[in-house]
Amino acid sequence: MTTVNGLPAHVLLVHAVVVLLPLAAFLLALTAVSPAARRRLAGPNAILSLLVVVLVPVTTSAGEWLQNRVPQTALLNHHTELGDTAIYYAIPIAVLALVVWWRTREERVASPGGHTYLAPRSTAVTSLVAVLALIVAAAGVFGIYRIGDSGARAAWSASAGR
């Protein structure tokens, strides 16, 4: 995908990633620490997180197409280097969102004494998942902020007369 109605697709897709990845990170943290939120939102967040994993490379590819059509600057190169790291934030968020969802699912369907894979009733595992989720979510939000900030600087520094 290169353009949408004459606009570079990257300009449109990036907004989806900038909104949806932090939303998935927030929901991951929430579902990891709140049993009530986990029961209601773990499934939808797993789907959202997987959608973000698909959107990131599409957005990155559209960005590479756009990069080849604009003047090259140090700011643009910095942005593209950071942009290539977005997938490394999206994947751990999605993996942990799937873990949270799967553990919730196992807790609902497992009979007492039944076999489970991710120890849904273990307080220690729940605490470990929560700590990892908080770390991964914070890293994801900060990483996307850095990528977006560098993109804004690359796009607007020349037009702002800097």
- pLDDT, averaged in runs of 10, over the chain (162 residues): 84 94 98 97 98 97 92 94 97 98 90 80 94 98 97 80 47
Rounded CA gap, 86 and 24, in Å?
Answer: 14
What is the per-residue pLDDT for 116? 85
pTM over 0.85: yes
What is the per-residue pLDDT for 160? 47
Q: Where are the domains of the chain?
A: 9-156
DSSP secondary-structure letter at 18? Answer: H
What is the per-residue pLDDT for 158? 65
What is the per-residue pLDDT for 25? 98
What is the per-residue pLDDT for 159? 58
What is the per-residue pLDDT for 110? 72
Rounded CA gap, 50 and 4, in Å?
Answer: 23
SS3 of residue 3 by DSSP? strand
DSSP codes of every residue in 83-149? HTTHHHHHHHHHHHHHHHHHHHHHHHHPPTT---SS-TT-HHHHHHHHHHHHHHHHHHHHHHHHHHH
Q: Identify the H or E element spanning 35.
A: helix 35-67
What is the per-residue pLDDT for 162? 46
Rounded CA gap, 3 and 69, in Å?
Answer: 12
Beta carbons of 42 and 31 less than 8 angstroms apart: yes
- The tally of CA atoms less than 13 A away on the side-chain side of residue 122 is 13
